Amino acid sequence: MTALGWADVVTKQAGDCAAEDPLTGLTTAAYLRTRLGEVYRDSPVAPLGYALVLLRLDVQRATGWSRVVAMTLVSDALRTVFDGGETLATLGPCVAAVLVKRDEVLARRVSNLRVLAADRLADDPNVRPTGPAKVWTERLPDTHAEACALLTSLGR
């Protein structure tokens, strides 16, 4: 009887589990891998219509909660710039990624992200040492396995 009750509780917890990082509100790297799997299944060749926008903070000069606060601030900037249904994910304690469709406004959006992230970090003297955020666009590799390996290496 106890085992059944325990199994019910664990099953409910697993069903209620969100695929989001609770501090940043971004999805997890595991969710991004799943999303990439969907994109690659849609096109067996490297999905040329998609790219990853990446953001990395330099957290070596920050201490304690400043690292978490900095990532939370730039996550808000990510959600502001990429608000059209893109997949936004955290890859590690100082790296975030956005799966985006390549279009004529992507370069402007990446530039907007640089400016907005810098503004957010400049507001708090405790997190200022983590910036400026490095923001760049990465093409997707030829296969889903290579894309997952790229996410792993970027998250370190």
Residue pLDDT, tens place only, 21-59: 888 899 999 999 999 999 998 876 667 789 999 999 887
Q: Which residue has the higher pLDDT, 65 or 136?
A: 136
Q: Where along the chain do its domains lie?
A: 19-154
CA distances from 142 to 38, 43, 48 (A): 14, 10, 9
**Confidence bin at 148 (pLDDT 50/70/90):** very high
Q: What is the pTM of this model?
A: 0.83
CA distances from 27 to 62, 77, 90, 129 (A): 24, 15, 6, 25
Q: Which CATH architecture has domain 19-154?
A: 2-Layer Sandwich (3.30)
